Structure 1
């Protein structure tokens, strides 16, 4: 049990990669706290995996985040998974979309980390290491993609935030890394495919940009998530980890 004795909080845990991460961490012995704004998907997760503790949380709500941090015990791991994908070039960007994208994709991580870090620093004095994992993307400062202006800018910011946190607390036992997935077959992706003018072609186009020849699954991401939240990665911090099927070769 690679995460036995650890308490790990995961945001956006109601579906997609967040849900898969919650299940994978629970199976490795962690006490998992799954947070999401969606009550329905959280209830479904709790019904299937009653050992997972659930909390309805809007990561854009500073007061709610701070209240949850006060309520919960010190964390050994925090996975900031919540995010949104906007489509369009810079000519399509509205002020509201830009503000919302940065609020959910970046500022929510600032709120969560700021709220939970003090207890994690205390926890690390006993355990030697705690881990923060942020969701970034291959679509960031790593590589540019068409029609991903807001998304790419926010995910590049996540990499900068990750390195800053890692640099500030590397000597105090708290590590911070980022996961940078390729195109993952999630409900979010399916929504974007279904909304395309030609969904069949849209799916083919998404698959075609992966040299490995298929979309990623959430299970392709889970092993690295577990690794980065476990003590196995105790010497790893400030890094962005690509799992992209060869897109950035």
Structure 2
């Protein structure tokens, strides 16, 4: 089996890093389902993906990745359309509240945990059986350097992304004797519309920590994900791959 035979789901696929990942996977020949809370945007993004001689078909699916029933419905729609599942990229996310812990609203905190961590659990759990049935599986989670270092005034986001890293380690070990590999990437600042959710001071502080003195690009993230989603990633599971312009210290 090669990429032209494989089906990939990308959550948060309507924009930002998710859209760049979907475009790269389709360019490599995957048939791609773009899952997003905005169903119209997902459909439009799927239709707009660049076509090539090797590109597979694409599909836009509305899903609330924090809701168990919605994830199950989206998976049924994807399997009905493509017939199988081989790759899942959990890229849905939000920066959440920017505030000191003492001032952080509980509902905003919980929503950030749900979008960034609960969604990874629900989608990954749903993907395991179809991947095992297909005899091949790659789950790639988008964590963050914040999950390693903890960004000030972003406690919910940092905690959620730390959870993604630990979840990846646990699930990778669970599936080590199967054909399914589970890994994650930990980007620093990446140029996407998500940056608009950060305050100017928070963004400046994050950029100041990057030795390369620039933000990364969504395409650079997509390149790393493409490797993690393929055959050549065969002896890595439960691992975290930094994408930080030299910022990561461990």
> Partner residue of 1:45?
45
Structure 1 residue 108 and structure 2 residue 119: aligned?
Answer: yes
> Normalising by the residue count of structure 1, what TM-score does the alignment of the two structures yield?
0.89
State the match for 1:137 in structure 2.
Answer: 144
Q: Where in structure 1 are there 5+ consecutive unaligned residues?
A: none
SS at match of 1:85: coil
Q: What is the rounded CA distance, in whole Å, between the counterparts of 1:44 and 1:74 in structure 2?
A: 23
| Shift of residue 46, structure 1, vs aligned partner | 2.8
Question: What is the Cα deviation at residue 190 of structure 1?
Answer: 2.8
Per the TM alignment, residue 206 of structure 1 is displaced from its structure 2 partner at its CA by 4.1
Distance 1:47 1:121 in 2: 29
> CA 1:202–1:175 in 2, change beyond 3 Å: closer, same or farther?
closer
Q: Number of paired residues? A: 238
Offset at residue 146 of structure 1 (A): 1.3
- Contact 1:178/1:239 (8 A) holds in 2: yes
In structure 2, distance between residues paired with 1:153 and 1:57:
24
> Is contact 2:43–2:61 with CA below 8 Å preserved after alignment?
no
* Residues 183, 228 of structure 2: 8 Å contact kept: yes
**RMSD of aligned residue pairs (Cα, Å):** 1.9
CA distance in 2, matches of 1:44, 1:191: 23
Which SS does the other structure have where 1:216 is aligned? coil
> Shift of the alpha carbon at 1:70?
2.8
Q: What is the CA–CA distance in structure 2 between the aligned matches of 1:181 and 1:219, rounded to whole Å?
A: 12
How far off its partner does 1:203 sit?
A: 5.4
Does 2:109 match 1:98?
yes
Alpha-carbon distance in structure 2 between the residues aligned to 1:100 and 1:205: 24
**Alignment match, 1:27:** 27
Question: Which residue of structure 2 aligns with residue 150 of structure 1?
Answer: 156
Out of 77, 82, 86, the residue aligned to residue 76 of structure 1 is 86
Cα distance change, pair 41–67 in 1 and its aligned pair in 2 (3 A): closer
Any conservation in 2 of the 1:14–1:42 contact (CA below 8 Å)?
yes
Q: Secondary structure at the match of 1:164?
A: helix
The CA deviation at 1:104 is 1.2
Structure 2: gaps spanning 5 or more residues = 52-56
Maintained 8 Å contact 1:74/1:116: no
Q: TM-score, normalised by structure 2?
A: 0.89
